[in-house]
Amino acid sequence: MVILGTKTDAPKTRGPDDSRGYRVFRVVNTVVLIGVVVATLYPFLNIVARSLSEEAYIIAGKVTIFPRGFDLTAYKLLMSDALFWTNYRNTVVYTVVATLISIVLTTCYAYVLSKPQLKGRTFLIGVALFTMFFSGGLIPNYVLVTSLGMKNTIWAVVIPNAISVFNLLVMKAFFESLPSELEEAAAVDGLNTYGILLRIVLPLSKAIIATMVLFYAVSFWNSWFTAFLYIDQQDLLPVTVYLRNLIAGATDAQQSGAAAADVVQAAATLQAVTIVLTTLPILAVYPFVQRYFVRGVMLGAVKG
Amino acid sequence: MTSTLRPPPPAPPSSPKQAQSPAPRSPRRGRSWRQALRRDWQLYSLTILPLLFFLVFRYLPMLGNIIAFRRFKPGGNIFGEYWVGLRYFRMFLTDPTFWEVFTNTLVLGTLTLLFCFPLPIVLALLLNEVRARRFKRFVQSVSYLPHFLSIVIVAAMVMQLTSIEGTANQLVKLFGGDPVAFLQRPEWFRTIYVSSEVWQTVGWGTILYLAALTTIDEDLYEAARIDGAGRLRQTWHVTLPGIRPTMVTLLILNIGSFLAVGFEKILLLYNPLTYPTADVVSTYLFRMGFQSSNFSYAAAIGLFEAVIGLVLVLSANVISRRTVGTSLW
């Protein structure tokens, strides 16, 4: 599979054959694409509007994309919840630590895999590739992590998913694209492997490392299931599980009948606020980092 | 020359003379391993931690599946206490609930494949016809956005949109209907699941197709036009064949993850009322393991699922290599 590149969206002017049918198509196309944009953005706007609205308007089903009866009570309520902030801080800590571990392990392994004449390279690649298509499964993993005594520690969250094979392949593809002459010259100057990796290769790989940091950081920031599985202590949970417990609580209340309806409604705004505050960091950096993601995906696909 | 740079690999037996030389193979190989280790030990040393990771957190759990054939006591030996043979496999194969959740998995997997595989291609083709660059880039940026959200957030959004006072019911009321508690109704679960899946994946899925589209040779369109092909036929005869390798690769990957339908999302969205359509193999296994503490039984189901997944990828790969000549490896 060969995908070259970045010369995207060169407008295709396939000659002057723009029939009337095609002009109609282009109008329809534009309308459809605007529809896609609206459908994608609507849930976000709806949530923001809900988070800022007064409870009564939400219950009456009057909130769409504009806040009704502007009200910050839910924000104040959430901001004053110590557990929310503890969990938020946990998310930050877990993300930073996990990303660090992942980057170190992935870089080391990808660099070794990028050396074409290394003996045993095929085996080393196979070790990683096989895990993409076959995994031990939930139960054996749980038994393992538990018996390693990692339950209710940060390690249960940051170690079991340290290497993503997809990211590994992306990085390997990048290292393979580096000109080998530079490393050869450094070797002649007497640098050993570690020196070459640290002083020659890594400085040339800033862009790919940034991409990898983003890939890993976003996936750790968003992850919830590992923590949900391995952590029972409330003050060790990440904020995603905080949100999960909030929505699960609301669902339980809904099922237990009308008596709990008040709880449900109080939760509606609170849920919206929690969603907004959890998504905010991602939305804030998204416009600036989006292209790195796209580039990373394409780099991975070249070798796919 | 130091470690990273190896002299060119020992030349393959290019001359017939060399090939004929009856050098005994094994001692030579042993020596070259020793040489490789001496020369590249620093490189090999970098693999220690990653290999340890794969060994402990990927391959050890595979071995841990042995508890599917053994009696397991929580807190006891992680490889179980004593052999019970295929008892747990017989147990779930005769369990009607298992077949119910298996059917649900197939249905949800098929629906997901049916919508989440072709829609990115359609969107990419539509985007490809846009000439206003800034508009195109804007649509792309917006459509990628949901990919970056946590599943918990997507699930929470789904709950808000489908709640009694949410947008879906506002629409229902607009057309004069009565509000529906969508997430409590088994008949709605598949629709909700698949549409949220489409919402989250369709934009991101276009990236590879858009990249593939830029590599199609302009001359092919020129030639098609001279032959009198209109826009639609150009798309059919030039564009689609041009992105076929990408399509096949992604199809194989999709088929491989066919059974692993969005476990986390279902776990967040389903409830006992919607089990008839929402409960899938992985969520059933989860409940068996963690609510009923029947680890061996759950491990047997998990092993069954993983083996089917592996068989699916391998066969999809073989079929595509035979028929269209594209394969993953």
Q: Which two tokens stand for residue A156?
A: 């249960």
User: In whole angstroms, what is the distance from residue A278 CA to residue A218 CA?
Assistant: 12
Tell me if B235 sits within 8 A of B124, measured CB to CB.
no
Closest B-chain CA to A221: B150
DSSP code of residue A15: T
Q: What is the pLDDT of residue A5?
A: 39
Q: Tokens 């759990």 sit at which residue?
A: B61
Domains of chain A: 14-71 (no CATH), 76-304 (1.10.3720.10)
Q: What is the pLDDT of residue A185?
A: 87
Longest CA–CA span in chain A (Å) reads 79
Tell me if B150 sits within 8 A of B140, measured CB to CB.
no
Domains of chain B: 32-61 (no CATH), 87-153+199-323 (1.10.3720.10)
User: In whole angstroms, what is the distance from residue B269 CA to residue B265 CA?
Assistant: 6
CB B159 to CB A188 under 8 A? no
* Identity at B271, one-letter amino acid code: N
Closest B-chain CA to A22: B231
User: In whole angstroms, what is the distance from residue A193 CA to residue B43 CA?
Assistant: 7
User: In whole angstroms, what is the distance from residue A122 CA to residue A113 CA?
Assistant: 8
Ranges of chain B with pLDDT below 70: 1-31, 326-329
What's the Cα-to-Cα distance from A123 to each of A108, A130, A164, B68, rounded to whole Å? 16, 10, 18, 28
CB B214 to CB A5 under 8 A? yes
Tell me if A69 sits within 8 A of A56, measured CB to CB.
yes
B220, B224, B229, B232 alpha-carbon torsion, rounded to 10°: -10
CB B61 to CB A111 under 8 A? no
Of B243, B235, B260, give the one whose Cα is nearest residue B113: B260
Is the dihedral angle over the CA atoms B286, A138, A154, A240 positive or is it negative? negative
State how far residue A94 is from chain B, nearest Cα, in angstroms.
15
Of residues B50, B61, B152, nearest to A105 (C-beta)? B50
**Residues in chain B closer than 8 A to A184 (CB atoms):** 1, 5
Question: Which pTM was predicted?
Answer: 0.84
CB A140 to CB B207 under 8 A? no
Q: Which two tokens stand for residue A222?
A: 């968003």
Strands (E), A115-225: none
Ranges of chain A with pLDDT below 70: 1-18, 250-267, 300-304
Phi, psi of B187 (to 5 degrees): -70, -15
Q: Which two tokens stand for residue B168?
A: 């879906």
DSSP code of residue B70: B
Q: What is the pLDDT of residue B10?
A: 44
Q: What is the pLDDT of residue A52?
A: 86
What b-and-e string marks burial along B85-123, b requiring 16 or more CB atoms within 10 Å of the CB? eeebbebbeebeebebbbebbeebbebbbeebbebbbeb
How many CB pairs below 8 Å do chains A and B form together?
334
CB B57 to CB A251 under 8 A? no
B83-92, pLDDT tens digit by residue? Answer: 888 888 888 8
ipTM, two decimals: 0.85
- Exposure of A142 in the CB half-sphere (CA atoms within 13 A): 24
User: In whole angstroms, what is the distance from residue B121 CA to residue A254 CA?
Assistant: 39
State how far residue B94 is from chain A, nearest Cα, in angstroms.
21
Tell me if A284 sits within 8 A of A221, measured CB to CB.
no
Q: What is the pLDDT of residue B115?
A: 92
User: In whole angstroms, what is the distance from residue B177 CA to residue B20 CA?
Assistant: 85
User: In whole angstroms, what is the distance from residue A25 CA to residue A28 CA?
Assistant: 5
CB B282 to CB A138 under 8 A? yes
What's the Cα-to-Cα distance from A290 to each of A196, B138, B140, B145, B170, rounded to whole Å? 31, 12, 10, 9, 34
Of residues B65, B230, B264, nearest to A137 (C-beta)? B65
Of A129, A159, B185, A181, give the one whose Cα is nearest residue B193: B185
CB A139 to CB B329 under 8 A? no
Strand partners, B83: B70
